[in-house]
Amino acid sequence: MKQKNNKIRIAIQNNGRLRESSLEFLRSLGLKFEFAERSLITPCLNADIDILSVRNGDIPKYLKNNSADYGIVGENVLIENRSKLKIMKRLGFGLCSLVIAVPKKSKVKSPFDLRDERIATSYKNTLKTYLKKNRINASIVNIQGSVEICPALNLSDAICDITQSGSTLKENGLKVLEKILDSEAVLVKNPYISQQKKEYFEKFMKN
């Protein structure tokens, strides 16, 4: 199934929990490809499609800037980026929740006890929206990386982070106080994609 014009570009996570399942989904569409080590652009062998391996949080930017046509990303990333990209399909993998967690011996027993407390997170926009909606005046400590350790280091009184099984929270002596949202991997589309590219890719989606 060849296309005469420019290739379609699909952006996926370069590493992390969504990558392997994203590749499995693309293979399920009938796409064939072989990855070279450290390759950022991988061409499909049986279609005019390139797979871009990029940082997870940057995928919405690639789509908005017309550098990619489709992307597979966690819905939580779209919400954090306040993205309005159209979700074409919910993919049923990468299931997780964004939660607020506190140390097991914390005096904080409800979300409203977070007033004047410090919350460490990599999801500052989502957390800010939640706190504003619930009229909770708390300080946000922006951390990129392992936020679970912040309470133990006295950097925060609570954390707001993604969890799947909850095992990482337990390992760090934390318990869930509040669930903010559920998330899964989604297929999103560039709002500026041409009709020709859209029709070409949708043929694979229907297979």
Which CATH number fits the domain that encloses residue 109?
A: 3.40.190.10
Same domain, 177 and 104: yes
Q: What is the pLDDT of residues 102-138, one digit of tens each?
A: 999 999 999 999 999 999 999 999 999 999 999 999 9
Same domain, 155 and 173: yes
Sheet-wide strand order for 96-103: 139-142, 118-121, 158-163, 96-103, 174-183
Answer whether residue 144 is part of any domain: yes
Evaluate if residue 18 carries a pLDDT over 70: yes
Instruction: Give the three-state DSSP class for 202.
Output: helix
Torsion of CA 118, 124, 127, 131, to 10 degrees: 60
DSSP symbol at 13: E
Answer whether residue 3 is part of any domain: no
Same domain, 77 and 131: no
Answer whether residue 26 is part of any domain: yes
**What would the two tokens of residue 83 be?**
């993205």
The model carries a pTM of 0.88
Same domain, 124 and 179: yes
| Predicted pLDDT at 35 | 77
Which residues, other chains included, contact 84 with Cβ-Cβ below 8 Å and sequence gap of 6+?
A: none
d(CA 72, CA 147): 25
Q: What is the pLDDT of residues 164-193, one digit of tens each?
A: 888 999 999 999 999 999 999 999 999 899
Answer whether residue 2 is part of any domain: no
Domain total of the chain:
2
Residue 153: domain span: 96-183
Evaluate if residue 37 carries a pLDDT over 70: no
**What would the two tokens of residue 138 be?**
């708390």
Same domain, 132 and 89: no
**Residue 11 in contact with residue 52, Cβ under 8 Å?**
yes
Answer whether residue 112 is part of any domain: yes
